[in-house]
Structure 1
Amino acid sequence: MGIKSFTGRRSEAKTNKRDAIRVKDYMTRKLITFKPDQTINEVMEIILKQRITGGPVVDESNNLVGIISDTDLMQVIGDSRYHNMPVADRKVSDLMSPQVFTIDAEADLFDAAARFLKSGHRRFPVIEEGKLIGQISRMDVIIAATNLKKDHWR
Structure 2
Amino acid sequence: MEQVVQRYPLPQPLVELGELYEARGRAGDARQARDQYALVNAWVSLARANGVDADLDTALAAADHGDHRAALKAARDEWARRHTVHTADALAWALHVAGRDKEALPHAREATATGYRNAAFLYHRGVIERATGHTKAARASLKAALELNPGFSPLGAREARAALKAAR
The two structures have a TM-score, normalised by structure 1, of 0.25
Structure with bigger strand share is 1
TM-score (norm 2): 0.23
